[in-house]
Structure 1
């Protein structure tokens, strides 16, 4: 037995309320969709009578029908866009729905009076065709509410027959089967409406039941997650220990940046995958300006401290996805996946400014250091050695441009080879 039903097979009270709200919500969804389509037959009917009817009654009928459709559309839109109003004053919203539906039926009936030539001509039969089509079309819109649809058909059928008796009595006298046909067709639509109501109700009920089952499943998953939490923590601890061991094996002992051998391996691995995915990738080469003077003037211990602090502030400035390594001596390298050249240059400028802002104090004497940076973006099918060579060449250019600056390597043209790396004496 479904958990949402009581022993008598009826829906539990709470679920009944949810189903009724779901039915009302679905009714307004269909109202909004059908109203947007409903403007077309209004304009078509007006167009068909444009040359046969006087302008005042034609404008009166067309304007009234447009106003009715706008009212139905705004009503549905407000209901659907404000969930807080859906759970209160349900009868109030139902009355608005009934009023719009009744006005729509009355409006289509009124075209017999306002747009009737008194002849059984093509336009007369066009009226009948539209009424029959409207009856069927509204079944898919408001047929999920039997009372609402019955009210619509009652106004449409009785109003149409009354207009026919007033405007076309000869038709009903000669063909008494016409009113009978109206009633029979309306009865068939009402039977069909009952089926539409049941199917929609069953669908909404099933959806609510599915939501309840999903909530139970989520609760079970949360419980299972809690049970596995200790295992996950142990696994995480083991992973952290392995990571620590790995860091000890791949990091430079002085600066704790990645050592050259490891970052070279990472560079080749990344580029191999990047050529398949065609992602952006940039390399920065960074070198301390006049570092030899620091060692000569303050000693190698101070020089080592400069390297350590530079590595620390550089890694703090970079993203977690960037790889920072010591390339050799006072030269460092940065690998920047998923980064365009302009973004790499901007990051390099931030890095340059941050390093330049560091102050070193040696026995009361302070000094600062600057860096020159070369940036290069990986080109299609370019090798790891080639992109490093271009970034190093850009670094060489930065040195000769006055130092303390960032230079971006230009993109390679077709068939162009990277320039050889240059020796930078007295950097």
Structure 2
């Protein structure tokens, strides 16, 4: 932490020298130039630089105070450790234990507010506000080797959020299995000074970190502020009202968890310092789900490049978390024509969806055909009687036609015999 305070002090001093140089140039320009339209702008710039120099001097004084206090605390800690060393016995007994079982030497660090480094999934290292929970290796005498366990005060995803059961000593999972944080172990020498929220940066349309109902802090845009803040969270597409203690103003595009004392022009880390929210995959198909039918070489290569399963693609994890939906485009058609066909609903579906549709149509046709056949086979009593009666009528008609009556036969015989008698 001493190294961090020294670096912060040097950076603040460089900024102060830069502001003083700019102020001297403006004063020289005002003395050399005559009255004109630019004089008012130069006077305003001079006032702004003077105010900025005053604020920077106050910040530098505060950093120096913190460094001196830390030096005094270190000296007192070393002195008390030397006096208590005969009673400590085996110094290595506390190593590897949980914070609640560590030695009493951790009490001098417990509760210290600081900024701790966090290595993101894509390799960038950002600093977030945290609180020291305990000291890990109580037997180490060298400050460079002292390790501490910290809990982050503004977690932006579940892996940073402190586990409530762990704090109560009731968590049933190991730190490597639990989806929440059991504390992050970092070198004590890498800690920086705690960054308090600067509420003078609050403005309508300004950026901030806002605490949501799930206990996580999301990047948000301030819509209005009176007794309570109304903020819009783009990653959740929600607008909520929250008290001032759940709002952490951000300066420009910088993250509220990154150090305000880093000069972005010199370090060039403005893009990497942005807080990126982790949007977990929804209840849809997981990215790479098809690899259960393959050897999974794609996921292995992506894991080597830093990809974390469940997070979005891209350097900052802001990309898509679901696979690309298959769209079959007709051959020989332009993209404009395909877009029109998509709006009209004329594009083919994915092969799996088409097969399912064909199966449904075939099942429907089979059901209709089966019901028709069963309807034809179904015969009731009246149909049976009608068929029998029709059959008898047809037989009677055929017999009447084939067998003439006896009276007609006698008449015909007489007609044939009479001419013979006349002759």
TM-score (norm 1): 0.17
Higher Rg:
2
More helix by share: 1
More strand by share: 2
TM-score (norm 2): 0.18
